Chain A
Amino acid sequence: MAKKILIIDDELLVQKVLTDKLQEQGFEIISALDGEEGLKMIENKKPDLILLDIIMPKLDGTSVLKKLKENPETNRIPVLIFTNLSDKETLAISLKFGGVEYLTKADHTLDDIVEKVKEKLGP
């Protein structure tokens, strides 16, 4: 069965390109445009991997991460923080929790991202 990836990002175009690229690679993509919606999807759909933006309306990425880590049913899902911030705070968050890594969008090609996603998902 295809692995399920949840993209939580408030930028429609970012969503669109990533969805197309990852679908092309054979993944199943679900997406949310804000943190609140994202968190609901995490709980209901149990994705295999989450691509998480930080700055978002309603609930930001940091809060989403905290909540999903508090929940024993979701705290093992690997997360790729996916942002254009590259400050201490984001770095600290990604280091604090297990299974969380951090990528700056602008500095990676789509191929880079696919590679990273595959690496995170494992065999």
Chain B
Amino acid sequence: MDYKVKIKSKDEIGQLAIAFNRMTESLKKQNKNIIKKTKELEEAKSKDEAVLASIGDAVIACDKKGKVMIFNNMAEEISGFSIKEVINGHYSKYLKFVIEETGKPSPDFIAKAIKSGKKTKTADHTLIIRKNGQKIPVEDSASPIQNKKGNIIGCVIVFRDVTQRRKIDKMKTEFVSLASHQLKTPLTVISWLVEMLNKGKVGKIAGKQKEYLTDVYHSTQRMIKLVNDLLNVSRLETGILRIQPELTQFEKIIQNVIKSRKALINKKQCKVIFKKPKKKLAPILLDKSLIKQAVNNLLTNAIRYSGPGKCQVTIKLEKRAKDYLLTIADKGIGIPKDEEQYVFEKFFRADNAQKLEAEGTGLGLYISKMIIESSGGKIWFQSKENKGTTFSISIPLSGMKEKKGEEVLVGEKK
């Protein structure tokens, strides 16, 4: 481009030469510009790369076909693979996730994100298998990358090592478990001593004394119930709970639960209607103690959160094409719309529920949800404030899923 044509003539060839020279000039300028822009781009790129490299979470990007394009430092550290090994290879060769409890590969959430165009997350208790075979607990998500036209051109995967958090969670759970056990002995003794006093065998208990002692007894029972609930939560959360289904008559379980709540039903003058399936069900696989606990929590709520004088609960059990559906409908105070999303959260109690009933731990629904979901079923509700709530449980036709574990729920009387 440094070549310049010497112009001698003013004829056509001369004019052409002038045009040629101008063109060379402009090309020269453009070239300079390109070099400058490239330099700028490179700087920006290395800045982006530096940012990407320094992110405390593993960041991986792949194209639509799953070919790895970006693999940052943390990704190298957690997975044990170097960027050189993985770049341009398929992510599934290097990113292997398994479910902690079963050791089986977890569902491919990356493929799902690319296919569905929606952000996906791995289930809880996911482990990544490192290059050296070591397993690390991780938490991750995959988000599809879309171009301006909205087409999916790839996927970005972010995950982090949660070993430390797990340790803290475990300590927390163990603490709750220990504290609960230690609390139970003195609570038991109080409750027994009050029982002795109230019987009047160690001296006559009159009027107010009896009333107060009964109050002490009930408060102690409440504390024991709370401790049991906390223990159960810690057992459910650590995944050590055993699910042991056996062939059971579902209708009978529900009748038993209703019977066990007789005192509460009478106290609230509640009308409880049980609509059984038209045809008697064949026995199905249920963990008796767990399903009882789950149904009991729903029934108790339905009764307790019915306004005074209008307590009516309808329980309906039916067999559908793919599952058994149990619904428990009340005409109670309902769940405020803006609080619906928190209903299954641990320790949550809706405002109106707290106003109506001071007692309550906010653990019942959480426990029910954990029980139902960890055994393969579903739980949900529909509610209208001041009109009532309907909770539904569905259990697959195959029944509750068995799970090996060390512990059973506490507080289940014979």
Rounded to whole angstroms, the CA-CA distance of A4 and B362 in the bound complex is: 45
Tell me what chain B mostly uses at the interface: helix, strand, loop, or mixed.
helix
Q: Which residue of B lies closest to A104 (CB)?
A: B410
Q: Which of B57-65, B185-193, B245-253, B300-308 contacts A (4 or more CB under 8 A)?
A: B185-193
Which residue in B185, B196, B224 is a CB contact (below 8 Å) of A110? Answer: B196
Which residue in B188, B193, B201, B407 is a CB contact (below 8 Å) of A106? Answer: B188
Query: Which residues of A lie under 8 Å from residue B195 when comparing CB positions?
Result: 109-111
A91-123 interface bits toward B, Cβ cutoff 8 Å, 1 = contact, 0 = none = 100000000000011111111000000000000
Q: B407–A87 contact, CB under 8 A?
A: yes
Interface check B227, CB cutoff 8 A: yes
Q: Which of B188, B224, B412 has the most CB of A within 10 A?
A: B188
Which residue in B191, B196, B406 is a CB contact (below 8 Å) of A21? Answer: B196
Which residue in B184, B192, B196, B407 is a CB contact (below 8 Å) of A84? Answer: B184
Query: Which residues of B lie under 8 Å from residue A91 when comparing CB positions?
Result: 408
Interface check B411, CB cutoff 8 A: yes
Interface residues of A in 1-44 (CB under 8 A from B): 11, 13-14, 17-18, 20-21, 24
Q: A14–B188 contact, CB under 8 A?
A: yes
Q: B227–A106 contact, CB under 8 A?
A: yes
Rounded to whole angstroms, the CA-CA distance of A111 and B196 in the bound complex is: 10
Contact-residue bracket for chain B: 20 to 34
Which residue in A13, A17, A21, A106 is a CB contact (below 8 Å) of B224? Answer: A106
Q: B189–A87 contact, CB under 8 A?
A: no
Tell me what chain A mostly uses at the interface: helix, strand, loop, or mixed.
helix
Interface check B262, CB cutoff 8 A: no
Contact-residue bracket for chain A: 20 to 34
Interface check B276, CB cutoff 8 A: no
A70 vs chain B, min Cβ distance (A): 26
Query: Which residues of A lie under 8 Å from residue B405 when comparing CB positions?
Result: 88
Interface check A85, CB cutoff 8 A: yes
Q: B192–A21 contact, CB under 8 A?
A: yes
Rounded to whole angstroms, the CA-CA distance of A107 and B378 in the bound complex is: 30
Q: B407–A17 contact, CB under 8 A?
A: no
Q: Which residue of A lies closest to B217 (CB)?
A: A109
Interface check A63, CB cutoff 8 A: no
Interface check B93, CB cutoff 8 A: no
Rounded to whole angstroms, the CA-CA distance of A43 and B270 in the bound complex is: 56
Query: Which residues of A lie under 8 Å from residue B186 when comparing CB positions?
Result: 13
B308 vs chain A, min Cβ distance (A): 30
A85 vs chain B, min Cβ distance (A): 7
Query: Which residues of B lie under 8 Å from residue A108 when comparing CB positions?
Result: 413
Which residue in B181, B192, B412 is a CB contact (below 8 Å) of A17? Answer: B192
Interface check B228, CB cutoff 8 A: yes
Query: Which residues of A lie under 8 Å from residue B187 when comparing CB positions?
Result: 106
Rounded to whole angstroms, the CA-CA distance of A14 and B187 in the bound complex is: 11
Which residue in A11, A86, A107 is a CB contact (below 8 Å) of B185? Answer: A11
Q: A88–B413 contact, CB under 8 A?
A: no
B177-209 interface bits toward A, Cβ cutoff 8 Å, 1 = contact, 0 = none = 000010011111101110110000100000000
B292 vs chain A, min Cβ distance (A): 14
Q: B196–A20 contact, CB under 8 A?
A: yes
Query: Which residues of A lie under 8 Å from residue B119 when comparing CB positions?
Result: none
Interface check B242, CB cutoff 8 A: yes
Given contacts A24-B201, A106-B227, contact A88 B406 (CB under 8 A): yes
Query: Which residues of B lie under 8 Å from residue A21 when comparing CB positions?
Result: 192, 196
Q: Which residue of A lies closest to B181 (CB)?
A: A84
Q: A105–B188 contact, CB under 8 A?
A: yes
Q: B408–A88 contact, CB under 8 A?
A: yes
Query: Which residues of B lie under 8 Å from residue A89 when comparing CB positions?
Result: 406
Interface residues of A in 61-80 (CB under 8 A from B): none
Rounded to whole angstroms, the CA-CA distance of A91 and B412 in the bound complex is: 14
Rounded to whole angstroms, the CA-CA distance of A89 and B240 in the bound complex is: 13
Rounded to whole angstroms, the CA-CA distance of A110 and B197 in the bound complex is: 12
Q: A17–B193 contact, CB under 8 A?
A: yes
Query: Which residues of A lie under 8 Å from residue B189 when comparing CB positions?
Result: 11, 13-14, 17
Extra pairs beyond A11-B185, A87-B406 (6, CB < 8 Å): A14-B185, A14-B189, A88-B408, A89-B406, A105-B184, A107-B228
- A selection of 8 A-B contacts at a CB cut-off of 8 Å is A14-B189, A17-B189, A20-B196, A21-B196, A88-B407, A106-B185, A107-B411, A109-B195
Shortest 6 CB-CB distances between A and B: which pairs? A84-B184, A88-B406, A13-B189, A106-B188, A106-B184, A17-B192
